[in-house]
Amino acid sequence: MALSYFWSREFLTNRYFLWLLFWCNALGTVYGYIWYGDQLEYTLAQQPLWQIVFVPDSPTASLFFTLSLLWVLYKPKSMVLNRIGHVLQALAVVTSVKYGIWAVSIIFAGWMQGGSQNWQDWMLIASHSAMAIEALLYVRFFGFRWGALVIAALWTLLNDTMDYTYDIFPWLPASLMDHLDGVRNFTVGLTLVSILCAWLALRQAKRA
């Protein structure tokens, strides 16, 4: 069996594999919200309620991807449901690529600044790398187009604005708190790169 089989349409759209991927992402999403539990409680206690939606970045990206798989498994006949699915899929690609790369980068940056390593860091590196990879693998099976991508881009840029305006960004390693401006600039730049990646992947998918 050729290695290329594992990223072929036949393998990636196999319903058994899709359900396996769905449940892995669903469980990862739940774990991600639990991981953010302390920050969610702190935000609810210290910040206006409306800001809470902008706090759990990676779990929400994982949630977008998990829901997007349902639109691959079950093609809705309703135009409205299709449009909703397309927006979710665009959000899944942009945010999964963005936060997948962001988390890995921040962990390594924290280490480089003298932060300590632990097994959870390696688990986060593996899971967040998978987020970015699976989003790029599945973009060709998603049905979204330019309008949905624009919505996803605006949402992700809005999230960045909220994070660094109201200090509700994901809690950073202590070693990076003195470099917050650099983290902010990197985050916004990565958002733009992720939008570009989604756009290029979409163009490639249309040609395939």
- pLDDT per position as a tens digit, 23-76: 999 999 999 999 999 999 999 999 999 999 999 999 999 999 999 999 999 988
User: 145 phi and psi, to 5 degrees?
Assistant: -130, -160
Task: Give the pLDDT score at 28.
Answer: 96
Alpha helices, DSSP H only, in the chain? 9-12, 15-35, 37-46, 57-73, 79-112, 119-138, 146-165, 180-207
Task: Give the pLDDT score at 2.
Answer: 72
Domain extent, residue 65, equals 3-207
Least confident segment among 93-97, 120-124, 155-159, 197-201: 197-201
Quote the number of domains for the chain. 1
Task: Give the pLDDT score at 207.
Answer: 62
H or E element, residue 144: none
Q: How far is CA 134 from CA 6, 10, 109, 127, 176, in A?
A: 12, 15, 24, 11, 28
